[in-house]
Structure 1
Amino acid sequence: MKRIILTGSSSGFGWLTAKTLAKQGHIVYATMRNVTTTNAAVAQTIRQWAIDHDAAIRVVELDVTSDASVQQAMAEIADDANGQIDVLINNAGIVITGLNESLSTEQANQIFQVNVLGADRMIKAVLPYMHAQKSGLLMHLSSGLARLHLPLLGAYSASKAAIDALAETYHYELRALGIDSVIVQPGAYPTTDLLTKQINPANPGVEEVYGETILPIKRGIAHMFTPTEKSPDPQEVADLIARLVETPAGERPLWNAIGIGGVQPYVEQLNQGTQQLAATVFNAIGVTVPA
């Protein structure tokens, strides 16, 4: 049984993962914003599910963009867990689709605050506990778009590329200390609510300058996120996360791509190439880093 902090637990991969891990007997701290207001109904649904299934899921108020909120949540979780934090799953994220030019600076900042800096804030909050026990797992929900950079998804792709880079360097820094940092790169799962909760661009009027040149791209992006009978089941992402949690320390792959369709082999090649590049550089400068 592991004590697991999961951000962004109110829906999508988060809610599926919380249930999957709890069914395996783990204690899951399902964190989300606004548990007494906009997410009150969701929080109650999660609590009731836990009661009905005799599962250990604790709903905790947490906003990854706030130092104060993270500190308060960590104090509550650490007290309940007797200071033992085994796993952090950075799942909280937001998406904005639109021309790069159509996003305000504030919106670009917002997506990085949640997808990158919020994740790093959580990492720094749990690491003291993991250092004390000389073990732990940091898991980061990235995206296939960390490697495949599509127009109209520029800011989102950039944020996922950033969290990939951050998680990779944590992997090299922490592995010798008994702490794993791994990355999950899901493709498009149309049956999740990723796009229904997206933020609309602040300056959509700039599209007029581009005219019809962006229409094929818009149709393509819409097609990617339109559910069909052949859409992949997001439960497979939750199952992959659960397998990584159960995998012994030091044996977990750094990158784990899933559900990216026909381009997945190319994403995996880029992942392997990046790791080989790092190993070559480390060797050249005389540094030994765990694989």
Structure 2
Amino acid sequence: MRKPVNKLLLYFFINSYTDRYIKFSKSQMKNIILSGSSSGFGLLTAQTLAKQGHTVFATMRNVSTTNAAAAHQLRQWAVDNNADIQVVELDVTSDASIKTAITEIADKASGKIDVLINNAGIAAIGLNESFSSEQVNQIFQVNVIGADRLIKAVLPYMHQQKSGLLIQLSSGLARLHLPHMGAYVAAKAAIDALAETYHYELRSSGIDSVIVQPGGYPTTDIIAKQLTPANLSVEANYSDDTLQLKSAVAGLFVPSETSPDPQEVADLIADIVETPTGQRSIWHPIGVGAILPYVQQLNAGTEQLAGAVISSLSPEVPA
């Protein structure tokens, strides 16, 4: 005859196992800073990561004014979904704003910052000549210099804990330099290169720097929020076929039935976050369509070239 189960022992075993599982699960959860969280990839990524149990510090400009509705909706979404999203005011073009925001976040996170996702960006479609110097500076301030400001602000915390992850939203256009997107492409190529060099410099410190290269995702708001060229009058100096190309380039971002789903970018970022340190590729192209093999080839060649030169300069450094 089967012996009766000791219910009291079974109760303690189940509860002990559950407690250990919860503690283990919590230890895998990360404190994540995400810029540009009001819409597009940023909004989807914030929600995706929070659903997985991570704490997301969703940063955006003008939380009390132009982005007040977006901030409210994201906070309400977090309440409705029992998710840990904390909206934080942050302007990537301001050193003072970044210092205030990171200090606030570090205090709430007990000094532990695991992941920085540089998503904030600004786009522009038009002739290079039609954009003023001030506008080109604005594009670089947001897409490159602002991202680097944030990296420098979080690295002291990552160095202290000897771990961390930097994810940069670059673009497939960092490899494909389309006319009528010159300033934007130049900025994306610049942050792509900067993030690559951070990868080589930081890998021995336990900190990964990786790059996501999305293609054209028409369902995001890149067109709605793009800069309008300041000097449209210069178009009179260009041929009709050149100007028609502008419309064709803009058409890449017009929604259609075949448009890729931006959620796949958020899912890719979530997968990168879950990948162990040291096992992440530098580049992650996604949604670039038929040019994917060429982007991959350029990425691989760039990595091979850098590895060869680094090894020749310092044989002790891993390629």
Q: Is the structural similarity TM-score above 0.5? A: yes
Distance 2:129 2:43 in 1: 33
Q: Which runs of 5+ in 1 are unaligned?
A: none
Distance 1:123 1:81 in 2: 17
The correspondence of residues 169-248 of structure 1 with structure 2, limited to 5 A, is 169-248=197-276
Q: Which moved more, 1:271-280 or 1:210-219?
A: 210-219
Is 1:33 aligned to residue 33 of structure 2? no
- Preserved CA contact (<8 Å) 1:191 1:231: yes
Q: Which residue number corresponds to residue 35 of structure 2? A: 7
Match of 2:123 among 80, 91, 95: 95
Q: Which residue number corresponds to residue 74 of structure 1? A: 102
Distance 1:149 1:199 in 2: 18
* 1:102-156 superposed Cα distances (whole Å, 9 cap, x missing partner): 1101001000000000000000000000000000000000000100000000000
Q: Which runs of 5+ in 2 are unaligned?
A: 1-28
Give the secondary-structure state (helix, strand or coil) at the position aligned to 1:107.
helix
Q: Which residue number corresponds to residue 139 of structure 2? A: 111
Q: Which moved more, 1:58-67 or 1:214-223?
A: 214-223
1:247 maps to a residue whose letter is T
| Structure 1 segments of 4+ aligned residues over 6 angstroms from their partners | none
Match of 1:62 among 65, 87, 90: 90
Q: Which residue number corresponds to residue 281 of structure 2? A: 253
Identity of aligned residues (%): 69
2:235 maps to a residue whose letter is E
Give the secondary-structure state (helix, strand or coil) at the position aligned to 2:59.
strand
- Preserved CA contact (<8 Å) 1:172 1:290: no
Distance 1:108 1:281 in 2: 32
Q: Which residue number corresponds to residue 302 of structure 2? A: 274
Q: Which residue number corresponds to residue 127 of structure 1? A: 155
Distance 1:157 1:289 in 2: 31
After TM superposition, give the deviation of residue 86 of structure 1 in Å.
0.1
Distance 1:218 1:288 in 2: 49
TM-score by length of 2: 0.90
After TM superposition, give the deviation of residue 160 of structure 1 in Å.
0.3
Q: Which residue number corresponds to residue 153 of structure 1? A: 181
- Preserved CA contact (<8 Å) 1:176 1:290: no
- Preserved CA contact (<8 Å) 1:61 1:73: yes
After TM superposition, give the deviation of residue 164 of structure 1 in Å.
0.6
Q: Which residue number corresponds to residue 165 of structure 2? A: 137
Distance 2:155 2:247 in 1: 43
- Preserved CA contact (<8 Å) 2:125 2:250: no
Distance 1:219 1:104 in 2: 20
- Preserved CA contact (<8 Å) 2:235 2:243: no
* 1:179-217 superposed Cα distances (whole Å, 9 cap, x missing partner): 000000000000111111001011011001003032331
Q: Residues 52 and 290 of structure 1: is their aligned pair in 2 closer, same or farther, counting only changes over 3 Å?
A: farther
Q: Which residue number corresponds to residue 51 of structure 2? A: 23
Give the secondary-structure state (helix, strand or coil) at the position aligned to 1:97.
coil
TM-score by length of 1: 0.98
Distance 2:52 2:318 in 1: 29
1:226 maps to a residue whose letter is V
Distance 1:285 1:133 in 2: 29
* 1:228-273 superposed Cα distances (whole Å, 9 cap, x missing partner): 1111000000000000000000000000000000001100100000
Larger of the two Rg values belongs to structure? 2
- Preserved CA contact (<8 Å) 2:45 2:270: yes
**Alignment length (residue pairs):** 291
1:30 maps to a residue whose letter is A
Match of 2:113 among 65, 82, 85: 85
- Preserved CA contact (<8 Å) 1:4 1:26: yes
